[in-house]
Amino acid sequence: MTLSAYLPTWPLSISPALWLALALVIAVLVGEGLVRYLRLPRIVGYVGIGLLLGPAGLNLIPELPAAEWRLLVDLALGILLFELGSKVNLRWLKANPWIAGTSLLEAAATFFAVFGLLLWFDVAHVTAAVVATIAIATSPAIVVRTVTESRARGQVTERLLLMTALNCIYAIICHKLAVAFMHGETGASLIHTVLQPLYLIGGSALLGWLFGSAFNSIHRHLGRHEETFSFLLFGMITIATIVASTLKLSPMLILLAAGLIVRYRRQRPRTFLPHFGSAGAVLVVLMFTANGLAANLDGLRGSMLLVVLLILVRTIAKLLSVLVLARFSGINLQQALALGIALVPMSSLTLLLTLDTATAFPDFASGLGLVLMSSIVILELAGPILVQMALRGAGETLEEKT
**Number of amino acids touching another protein (CB under 8 A):** 23
Q: Which is nearer to another protein, 154 or 203 (CB)?
A: 154
Question: In 362-379, which positions are buried (b, 16+ CB within 10 angstroms) versus exposed (e)?
Answer: eebbebbbbbbbbbbbbb
| Residue 268 interacts with another protein (CB under 8 A): yes or no | yes
Near another protein by CB under 8 A: residue from 28, 71, 104, 151: 151
**Amino acid at position 308, single letter:** V
Instruction: Go through the chain and tell me how many residues it has.
Output: 402
Q: Which of 376, 363, 402, 401 is nearest to 153 (CA)?
A: 401
Smaller CB separation from another protein, 155 or 245: 155
In whole angstroms, the minimum distance from the beta carbon of 91 to another protein comes to: 9
Q: Which of 353, 158, 103 is nearest to 253 (CA)?
A: 353
Q: 86 or 354, CB closer to another protein? A: 86
Short-list 111, 153, 150, 154, CA closest to 134: 111
- C-beta of residue 179 within 8 angstroms of C-beta of residue 360: yes
- DSSP per-residue string spanning 113-159: HHHHHHHHTT--HHHHHHHHHHHH---HHHHHHHHHHHT--SHHHHH
To another protein, the closest distance from the beta carbon of 332 in angstroms equals 7
Segment near another protein (CB under 8 A); pick from 44-52, 147-155, 242-250, 355-363: 147-155
Task: Select from 28, 89, 121, 302 the one that contacts another protein (CB under 8 A).
Answer: 89
> Smallest distance, Å, CB 157 to another protein?
9
Among 228, 278, 332, 359, binds another protein (CB under 8 A): 332
Nearer CB in complex with another protein: 70/151? 151
3-state SS track over 43-65: HHHHHHHHHHHCCCCCCCCCCCC
Q: Which is nearer to another protein, 202 or 269 (CB)?
A: 269
15: left (phi over 0), alpha (psi -120 to 50) or beta: beta
Within 13 Å and on the Cβ side, how many CA atoms surround 47? 25
For another protein, the binding residues in 222-241 under the rule CB under 8 A are: 224
Q: Please list every residue from 376 through 395 that binds another protein, using CB under 8 A.
A: 395
For another protein, the binding residue among 33, 62, 65, 330 (CB under 8 A) is 330
Nearest CA to 277 out of 233, 217, 221 is that of 233
CB of 260 to another protein, least distance (A): 14
**Measured distance CA(273)–CA(377) in Å, rounded:** 29
Q: DSSP letter for 36, please.
A: I
- By the rule CB under 8 A, 92 interacts with another protein: yes
Q: With CA atoms as reference, report the closest residue to 148 among 136, 160, 137, 138.
A: 160
**Distance from C-alpha of 348 to C-alpha of 141, rounded to nearest angstrom:** 7
* Positions in 96-125 near another protein (CB under 8 A): 96
CA separation for the pair 308, 365 (Å, rounded) = 19
- Segment contacting another protein by CB under 8 A, of 42-50, 87-95, 129-137, 250-258: 87-95
Q: How far is the CB of 146 from another protein (least distance, A)?
A: 15
398 touches another protein by CB under 8 A: yes
Report if residue 399 touches another protein, rule: CB under 8 A.
yes
Instruction: Find the shortest distance in angstroms from Cβ 255 to another protein.
Output: 19
Site for another protein in 160-219 (CB under 8 A): none
Under the criterion CB under 8 A, does residue 269 sit at the interface with another protein?
yes
Nearest distance, CB of residue 230 and another protein, angstroms = 16
- The smaller minimum CB distance to another protein, of residues 21 and 333, is found at 333
Q: How far is CA 293 from CA 45, 70, 78, 381, in A?
A: 12, 13, 20, 13
Window 28-47: contact mask with another protein (x via CB under 8 A) = --------x-----------
CB of 148 to another protein, least distance (A): 12
Question: Which residues of the chain form contacts with another protein (CB under 8 A)?
Answer: 36, 87, 89, 92, 95-96, 151, 153-155, 158, 224, 268-269, 271, 330-332, 395, 398-399, 401-402
